[in-house]
Amino acid sequence: MPNWLRIAATSPSAELSGLLAEGLLACGGSAIEEQGDTLVTYILSVDDPDAALDRIRDVLQAVLGTDAIELSADEVPEQDWLAVWRAGLEPRRIGARLIVSPTWSEVNAGPDDLVIRIDPQMAFGTGEHASTRGVLRLMQQLDMHGARLLDVGSGSAILSIAGALLGAQHVVAVESDVEAMQNATENVDRSGIAQRITLLCALVDDAFIDAYGGGAFDGVVANVLSSVLLPLLPVFHRALAAGGWAILSGILVEEADTMRAAAEAAGFAIDAEDVEEQWWSVTLLRI
């Protein structure tokens, strides 16, 4: 049986982790596992592991636009890496009521618990990223009943499903990555509340808000990079009705002061904050 190469890569910054994961998958990685700041994947072993590592390094440098990448490889015996990867994902309680679980796991849920089943499609795990958990905790602090929500950069649709389970009347989930839409559709279809979630492959900008009308939403959730969030703050303000709120994440702790100042300049007040690892999440109120 063939051996495999275990590839471990550490990005020079947390903001580049997503691109790093995409680059590893493009190099033939079978799955991506987060181990702290390091991403690990496995590829079929080759005759010249050193040459393979050089090739992977070249691809990652091109994808990330930097050579500041820590990269290592070691040969490991053949295994069912999908089974190994899945075994490392278990149901995770996030906040008082939400449980995020892979589709293949059994869940011991209480009468007040809300279960979100997400198939991560061999990318990042279900609710395994601190920025996602920050948004989910902050969402549970708000009254969602009857709300109209906008989920920006919805990815797997985990936040959209959470919003609907927490009582939102309707969620518009917007994602610009065409490939992510299939996974999101599958996750929404199995949620049992698909009739309250609209999935759109689009960009949220002024034209998008014009189509819906200013003040069309009671809440916005967005777990994307701060560099994406900053120019969207005025757009979010236009999208929200009076008294509306926005929960934002994907923001590094050292970027929090910049985001606070920009949010206040855009007409928001800080309502609540959540910090886990190096990630800062925030609830903003439209004023």
CATH code (residue 266): 3.40.50.150
Q: Please, which residues bridge with residue 151 across strands?
A: 173, 221
122 located within any domain: no
Which residue range forms the structural domain that includes residue 61? 4-85
My answer on whether 171 and 240 are in the same domain is yes
My answer on whether 274 and 181 are in the same domain is yes
Q: Please, which residues bridge with residue 171 across strands?
A: 149, 197
118 located within any domain: no
* Phi, psi dihedral angles at 275 (to 5 degrees): -130, 130
My answer on whether 162 and 235 are in the same domain is yes
Percentages helix, strand, coil for the chain (3-state, rounded to 5) are 35, 30, 35
My answer on whether 197 and 272 are in the same domain is yes
CB 102 within 8 A of CB 116: no
pLDDT by position in tens, the chain (length 287):
456 788 999 988 877 887 888 788 778 776 677 777 788 888 876 678 888 888 899 989 888 888 888 999 888 776 665 566 566 678 889 999 999 998 888 888 999 999 999 876 544 444 667 889 999 999 999 999 999 999 999 988 999 999 999 999 999 999 988 878 888 999 999 999 999 999 999 999 999 999 999 999 999 999 988 889 999 999 999 999 999 999 999 898 999 999 999 999 999 999 999 999 889 999 999 99
For residue 200, give the amino acid letter. L
Instruction: Say how far apart CA 205 and CA 231 lie, in whole Å.
Output: 10
Instruction: Say how far apart CA 94 and CA 134 lie, in whole Å.
Output: 9
For residue 96, give the amino acid letter. A
Domain boundary among 85, 111, 146: 85
* Structural domain count, the chain: 2
My answer on whether 75 and 146 are in the same domain is no
My answer on whether 71 and 136 are in the same domain is no
> What is the β-pairing status of strands 240-252 and 197-201?
unpaired
Show the tokens assigned to 204.
Answer: 């949220």
Domain boundary among 85, 101, 118: 85
